[in-house]
Structure 1
Amino acid sequence: MEALLFDRHEGVATLTLNRPQARNAIDMTLRQELGEAVLAVRDDPAVHALVITGAGGSFCAGGDLRSIQAGTPDVEAWRGRMRSSHAWFAQLLAMDKPVVCAVDGPAYGAGFGLALAGDFVLASTRARFCLSFMRVGLVPDFGIFYTLPRVVGVQRARELMLSAREVDADEALRLGIAMERLAPEALLPRAQALAASFGGASRLAVSLVKRSCAAAPQGDLAAMLDIEANAQALCFMTDAHRDAVARFLNKQTPAFQWPAQPGEHS
């Protein structure tokens, strides 16, 4: 791969956007390589979690405007170009494995959308989020119309889209865009520790939690209670549940533990 680093270590896959000279802006090469890597992670049974980050002090500056300007000129061609990314991006959003996005520096435009595809967004103290599309006469893409209102609510999402203003790490934390704020040097180790912790989790339970949360905004109470009953019945029958109960009764260390940050007490 030219524009993307792909590493696997003890069940954790790490994708590093690697165009630091362009602040990891997404050109057609990076778009294609992201698609291939996402599908490879989805289909690899040895991988239990995914980390996405960027090289050189940037997460992703959005779409590469130079390559965009060299693109196809008519409406239908542009629709096709956008839809070519939708298949793999939908797979990223629906992935049964936890996705941790480690955002250092700018997450602009499509980079903001890529960050929002994470189940957990960790931001460095120098992270900056911006839906910069209005500045160039475009609308948000990379799933932002779907993801952002679910995170911050419709009114705030509309404001961030239309204002194209920058959100720093502190505000991202307050709005719920970021789950944690960390020093830059602590960002990737924390992201990989979170991802590694799921090696001891029930893969079925992780998958069902993710799917149920995705259904929640559209589901009424009866539907969500039905999802709950079906999911719990499946989990009760797994070896992971039986092993966890045995560990609890025998006062053994649980196989899954959320890793404490340095200085925290578990």
Structure 2
Amino acid sequence: MTAEVTLPYTAITYTVAEGIATVSLNRPETRNGYTLTMAHELEHAFLAADANPAVRVVVFTSVGRDFSVGADLSGGGFDLAPSGPVDDWQEPAGRCSKTIFGMNKPVIAALRGVSVGGGVTITLSCDFRLASTDSRFSFPFSRRGIFPEGGSVWYLPRLVGVSKATDWMLTGRLFGAAEALDAGLVTSLHDPADVLDAAYALARDIIANTSPVSTAVIRQMLNQLSELESPLPVHAIDSRLIAGLPAHSDAVEGVSSFLEKRPPHFPLSVPEGLPQWLPWIETDPTP
């Protein structure tokens, strides 16, 4: 896949090619230890990918044999240094997971080797986590005398259930790829040499066969609505979306391509084609 480097960074790399943005942790000499610089750059890169109309899907991966060993402790402690009041400060892993959560574009994590602490919590808001058979995971906070971050106590029980999340969080133990797959933490397992190719194949399938607008709306419906106490507010949003289908050009194309047995060519794009009334979309209040 021909790649074009579009943005310069020091702790990550960012490329765009064929509708796919690839965001890679790039500190292999530290096993991709997580730093404030990495947090800044990841937030910037994911926002850039989401705003770029040429990007349909993001693949989140790493350079080197490990995805990330979590916080870089090489300095003997945590490189945090809040610059302002603590009440306004956002911890570094959460800045990444929060940014991914708010995106319109699907994000596929391709994981190899070790993903522990912040090195796994930053992936929990991704839509897919593809892992290699040599992957190992840990939420080691209790073993370091620290606390969970990245919004992980919200994401993890949604993915694997409270019982398994409690096991992993309270013990902080290391567990392997098979256990992660069985619990639902990862979507699929692949040979180490094949996991990135599998992520790109999934991305290409999404690009070729799905509507960007439908994908964006469904992604945020899952994120914003699936944990509501009642289905009734969801039904109200469903009803308004479905009522608009006769005038929705992507729906017209989706039905036509199905009946004509041809690949779809959806005309709408993100964010322009999104229904602006959706409750999670922030609109510009200026006239």
Q: 1:89 to 1:236 in 2, by over 3 A?
A: farther
Q: CA RMSD in A?
A: 2.4
CA contact (8 A) 1:107 1:115 kept: no
Aligned match of 2:213: 204
Label 1:72 to 1:80 Cα distance change in 2 as closer, same or farther (>3 A): farther
Structure 2 residue 69 is the aligned partner of structure 1 residue 61? yes
Of 167, 170, 181, 2:178 maps to 170
**1:52-111 C-alpha deviation (Å, 9 max, x unpaired):** 01111111111112357264679x866655346645542211211110000101110011
Mapped partners of 2:73, 2:90: distance in 1: 15
Indicate conservation of the 8 Å contact 2:39/2:92, yes or no.
no
| Matched-pair contact (CA < 8 Å) for 1:205–1:235 | no
Moved more, 156-165 or 215-224: 215-224
Give identity over the alignment, percent: 31
What's the TM-score, normalizing by structure 1? Answer: 0.88
Q: Is the 8 A contact 1:59 1:106 kept in 2?
A: yes
Shift in CA distance, 199/28, structure 1 to aligned 2, threshold 3 Å: same
Q: Secondary structure at the match of 2:180?
A: helix
Q: 1:113 to 1:251 in 2, by over 3 A?
A: same
Structure 2 contact 36–92 (Cα < 8 Å) conserved: no
**Which residue of structure 2 lines up, in the alignment, with residue 247 of structure 1?**
257
* 2:36 aligned residue: 28
CA 1:30/1:72 → structure 2, altered by over 3 Å: closer, same or farther?
closer
Return the match for 2:135 from 118, 124, 127: 127
TM-superposed deviation, 1:209: 1.1
Number of residue-to-residue matches in the alignment: 256
Give the 3 Å change call, closer, same or farther, for CA 237–23 of structure 1 in structure 2.
farther
State the one-letter code of the partner of 2:256: A
Q: Deviations over 1:143-193 (max 9, x none)?
A: 201210111112221221110011211111110001100011110011012
> Residues 48, 139 of structure 1: CA spacing in aligned structure 2 closer, same or farther, 3 A cutoff?
same
Q: Return the alpha-carbon distance in structure 2 between the equivalents of residues 170 and 234 of structure 1.
A: 44
Q: Conserved in 1, the CA contact under 8 Å of 2:39 and 2:96?
A: no
Structure 2: stretches of 5+ with no match in the other structure: 1-8, 267-287
Is 1:231 the equivalent of 2:241?
yes
Shift of 1:251: 2.2
The one of 222, 232, 247 aligned to 1:222: 232
Partner of 1:110: 118
Larger RCO (alpha carbons 8 Å, 6+ apart): 1
| Structure 2 SS opposite 1:184 | coil
Residue type at the aligned position of 2:218: V
2:145, 2:69 → 1: CA distance?
17
- More helix per residue: 1 or 2? 1
Query: Given residue 169 of structure 2, which amino acid in structure 1 is its aligned partner?
Result: M
Contact 2:14 2:21 in 1 (8 A): yes
Per mean C-alpha deviation after superposition, the further-off stretch among 107-116 and 246-255 is 246-255
Could you report, residue by residue, the CA deviation over 1:22-44 in whole angstroms, capped at 9, with x for unpaired residues? 11111122111111111111211
Aligned partner of residue 185 in structure 1, secondary structure: coil
Residue of structure 2 in register with 1:13 after alignment: 21
Give, in whole Å, the separation in 1 of the partners of 2:240 and 2:191. 41
Q: TM-score under structure 2 normalisation?
A: 0.81
